């Protein structure tokens, strides 16, 4: 076994590897960019080496800097984590050439599966079923369009390199093919340095089921059963579970054997995942699943496999890389219970899952039998430089219903303030009828997207509590003097104060009145809510709202407050009249950058007439493309950016004037 390893990654996965290495008595070396100088993975490691600026291309993607850090610190091996250089055959070769061990498969295995078109051809020869489509080298747009016509719409355009949903576009109509192809190629080029794509038949009711495989250098290979990863948005996984609902032993054996054949075909060593797409239009069937790709690394969702098998997959990686045989044989592996993993992101589902930034002014995870994998702490900042993952929440229970109930409860108990998150979306998804019934498919979120992602308006209780906070009622509650808390001298009548609350897509005018000791009445829309502040301190209290008691936690920043009540999160912001975001959100005359990023394409010129919803500018931010559209009909009055420009959040990109303006 190794005595010291370097982890060529950051965030949650770096922390995950460090914890297993520490348990095994292995010293760890972290690497960090300028943006990660104070990151959690740096604090957890035994040593840490600075490798460059925030841009991944100059730090976490720099083979030379990472290998240099390993040599400098005396590390014997490098764990690549996932993402960045984890599936880069050239990096694995360079690690081995430097006399170090790459904790992963051989460069030849990575290369064999690195390009999806070549991988599919290899799998066909190995007897593994593949999705119908075009997997060749020709890339002329007209030729690819003809292939799509021959396959039959809908089709999926997919980058042949990389993963994570980048460079993928579903196309339902021939007339949309050209624009979708351009966008997929552009995104693939940016993410992977390779704009080649393949075209596949898009199954109208598919499930994404993947098999965890493991091989060693002694010729052994096993699978550790399946994970269902069908709940996806923009081809990126949201909630994963193991085992897959509805899976029969016959189909599990067929998929497991196919996955092991795939691993043996490339003499695979280490942890890998063989991803299949299953046509479930007539239910799960062992003759209707197809190979999609193989990820030659550890997967983000590996904790659900660990939960049902009792295996530490990172420990297996370390043992196999050090030359040991697999710790268990196939007949020794069993499934115990059910597990779910939910990915908690800084993003806004109501705005097309737009990534978000911000400083985590408050971060609280549930206690008890819930696993949290995170690379951030309270006070850390979610930056635009890297993936906006906050944490992965994993639960395990004897059966699916109990596990899903535990997952939903765990999400309701999670508190994040300082940035927008997908927590409410995940909670709604846990209650979605098809998912709750064990009938997921990859189109579920898109079909129910409005119900799952629409901005939830605060209920009466949340409005009442927020109004009392804004009126100053909580600040002086310790003195039990609501007259003092509301401050102003009153001529006759009771002490009261008007408050205007601002929240996503709306606002509410309220009047807060002091009624007695820690008792307030909040009036709005012709009704009044009676709120009594009970036990607690500051902004964490038990409250009685119209005779019903709850606990509320409130966290304030200069820009607003976040309220946690009855398992729901409510954000209220304080209006900044100098911020262009409000105008942009209400369909104003300016297009505003939603976050820092790079202007990739400007589709209009000054003087052009545009229609509401028309694409104007394509930005790249946080590893994805964002298309900004016109909020109304009008004429481009002025352009403030050009292609290649870097922009800050809330920067004005262009201005519109009405068509009939002089």
Whole-angstrom distance, CA of residue 147 vs CA of residue 185: 16
What is the SS3 assignment for 316?
Answer: helix
264 given a catalytic annotation? no
Residues 6 or more apart from 336 whose CB is under 8 A from it? 308, 309, 310
- With CA atoms as reference, report the closest residue to 473 among 520, 418, 419, 523: 520
The answer to whether the beta carbons of residues 344 and 416 sit under 8 Å apart is yes
Whole-angstrom distance, CA of residue 339 vs CA of residue 400: 7
The answer to whether the beta carbons of residues 375 and 14 sit under 8 Å apart is yes
Sign of CA dihedral 280, 281, 283, 284: negative
Query: 380-390 as b/e, with b when 16 or more CB fall inside 10 Å?
Result: bebbbbbbbbb
Whole-angstrom distance, CA of residue 242 vs CA of residue 14: 23
Chain centre distance of CA 349: 11
Peptide bond before 154: cis, by omega within 30 degrees of 0?
yes
Whole-angstrom distance, CA of residue 518 vs CA of residue 97: 71
241 dihedral zone (left: phi>0; alpha: psi -120 to 50; beta)? beta
User: Annotated catalytic residue: which of 169, 207, 227, 297?
Assistant: 297
DSSP 454: S
Whole-angstrom distance, CA of residue 602 vs CA of residue 616: 6
Length in residues, the chain: 662
Chain centre distance of CA 554: 25
Whole-angstrom distance, CA of residue 502 vs CA of residue 578: 15
Which amino acids are annotated catalytic?
297
């Amino acid at each position: 076994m190794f005595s010291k390893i370097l982890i060529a990654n950051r965030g949650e996965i770096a922390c995950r590897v460090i914890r297993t290495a520490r348990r095994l008595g292995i010293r760890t070396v972290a690497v960090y960019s300028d943006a990660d100088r104070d990151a959690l993975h740096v604090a957890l490691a035994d040593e840490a080496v600075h490798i460059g600026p925030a841009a991944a291309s100059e730090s976490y993607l720099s083979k030379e800097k990472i290998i240099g850090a390993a040599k400098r610190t005396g590390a014997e091996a490098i764990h690549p984590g996932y993402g960045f250089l984890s599936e880069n055959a050239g990096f694995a070769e360079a690690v081995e050439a430097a006399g170090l061990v790459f904790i992963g498969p051989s460069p030849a295995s990575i290369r064999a599966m690195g390009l999806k078109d070549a991988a599919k051809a290899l799998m066909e020869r190995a007897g593994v079923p593949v999705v119908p489509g075009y997997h060749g080298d020709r890339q002329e747009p007209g030729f690819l369009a003809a292939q799509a016509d021959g396959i039959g719409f809908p089709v999926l355009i997919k980058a042949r390199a990389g993963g994570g949903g980048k460079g993928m576009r579903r196309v339902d109509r021939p007339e949309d093919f050209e624009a979708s192809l351009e966008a997929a190629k552009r995104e693939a080029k940016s993410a992977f340095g390779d704009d080649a794509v393949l075209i596949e038949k898009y199954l109208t009711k598919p499930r994404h089921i993947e098999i965890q495989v493991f091989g060693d250098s002694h010729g052994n290979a096993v699978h550790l059963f399946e994970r269902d990863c069908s709940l996806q948005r923009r081809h990126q996984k949201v909630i994963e579970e193991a085992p897959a609902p509805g899976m029969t032993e016959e189909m599990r054996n067929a998929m497991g054997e196919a996955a092991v054949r795939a691993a043996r075909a490339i003499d695979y060593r280490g942890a890998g995942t063989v991803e299949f797409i299953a046509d479930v239009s007539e239910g799960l069937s062992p003759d209707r699943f197809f190979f999609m790709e193989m990820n030659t690394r550890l997967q983000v969702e590996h904790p659900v496999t660990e939960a049902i098998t009792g295996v530490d997959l990172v420990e297996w990686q370390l043992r196999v890389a050090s030359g040991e045989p697999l710790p268990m044989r196939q007949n020794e592996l069993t499934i115990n219970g059910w597990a779910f993993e939910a990915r908690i992101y800084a993003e806004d589902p109501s705005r097309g899952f737009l990534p978000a930034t911000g400083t985590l002014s408050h971060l609280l995870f549930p206690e008890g039998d819930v696993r949290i994998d995170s690379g951030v702490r309270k006070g850390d900042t979610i930056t635009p430089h890297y993936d906006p993952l906050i944490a992965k929440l994993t639960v395990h229970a004897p059966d699916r219903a109990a596990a899903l109930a535990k997952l939903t409860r765990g999400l309701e108990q999670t508190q994040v303030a300082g940035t927008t998150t997908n927590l409410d979306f995940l909670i709604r998804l846990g209650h979605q009828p098809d998912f709750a019934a064990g009938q997921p498919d990859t189109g579920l979120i898109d079909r129910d997207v409005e119900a799952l992602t629409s901005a939830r308006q605060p209920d009466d209780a949340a409005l009442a509590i927020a109004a009392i906070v804004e009126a100053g009622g909580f600040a002086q509650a310790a003195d039990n003097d609501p007259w003092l808390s509301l401050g102003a001298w009153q001529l006759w009548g009771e002490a009261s104060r008007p408050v205007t609350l601002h929240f996503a897509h709306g606002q509410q005018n309220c009047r807060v009145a002091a009624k007695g000791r820690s008792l307030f009445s909040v009036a709005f829309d012709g009704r009044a809510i009676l709120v009594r502040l009970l036990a607690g301190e500051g902004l964490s209290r038990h409250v009685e709202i119209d005779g019903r008691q709850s606990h509320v936690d409130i966290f304030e920043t200069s820009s607003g407050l976040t309220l946690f009540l009855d398992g729901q999160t409510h954000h209220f912001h304080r209006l900044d009249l100098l911020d262009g975001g409000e105008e942009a959100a209400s369909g104003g005359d300016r297009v505003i950058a939603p976050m820092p990023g790079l202007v990739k394409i400007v589709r209009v010129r000054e003087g052009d007439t545009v229609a509401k919803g028309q694409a104007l500018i394509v930005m790249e931010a946080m590893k994805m493309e964002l298309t900004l559209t016109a909020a109304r009909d009008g004429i481009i009055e002025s352009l403030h950016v050009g292609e290649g420009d870097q922009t800050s959040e809330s920067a004005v990109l262009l201005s519109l004037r009405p068509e009939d303006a002089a």
